[in-house]
A and B are shown apart, each in its own frame.
Chain A
Amino acid sequence: MKIAFPTEGDSMNSNLCEHFGRAPKFLILNTENDSHRLIDNTHNTKMPSGAGIKTAEMIANDGVTHVVAKNCGPKAKEVLELSSIKVVLTDAETLEQAKDAVTG
């Protein structure tokens, strides 16, 4: 699985961001080899509207299989689901805890 987490930090111990479209970055976790990398989202956070959609577009083009978030707007969710990405909502605090929502 390739899981995308919206965050303001840079590790699995960081907190899950409240937002999806206006999250400053995403941590992409590859569960096969436990590696992760960060992708910047600041260019989308600056948009007056449609930030969620543009962020979803970026995530979808990255080859991600799952998104775990606290919130995700309906338009962004639609884009992700059209790309066969599973969207999981959670109220977990950290990315490590949020990961459990997907891996179970």
Chain B
Amino acid sequence: MSALVRGLLQPLMLPAHALALLAFGLLIGQQRVPWRLLALAAFVAGLAGGLAAIALAVGQTPAADVLLAAAGLAGLLVAIGRPPPALACVLLAAVAGMALGLDSPPEAISIAVATTMLIGTALGASLALALVVAGASYVGAQKWAAPRIGMRVLGSWIAASALLVLALRFARGQLF
């Protein structure tokens, strides 16, 4: 498998990353159009920043825990069914993007392969998030309530999963 494809798939293969992308896709999809695009852009900018920091060989960070906490919060906000203020959503998306980037160190020996993987990760995560946002905004615009309720149920599942994992990490002394 090429480095680009490995990078593309990485956000989908790591459960915590996939969970965060789903949570933020659902959350951003609830926003009105200009803010929706801004939140998406903030996530991508944060992601690029995080990946750039990785490329500059930043040290150990609590990015994994921050990402899970952000995903849990996003899931909770989706479950509650009341979208947060747009600016808060944008900031949260930027933090999540940054955390996802910082938590995606490529497993590669050469710099060229590592860089290609990082580019792949940026593309994969951005594309996956955009797809979920598009799906969530489409579902949110429908008159039929069931899919919207389904999204809220999904949000509650994400929040519950994230909370359990954070507690487990805390109990094992691995949190932050």
Partners in one complex: no
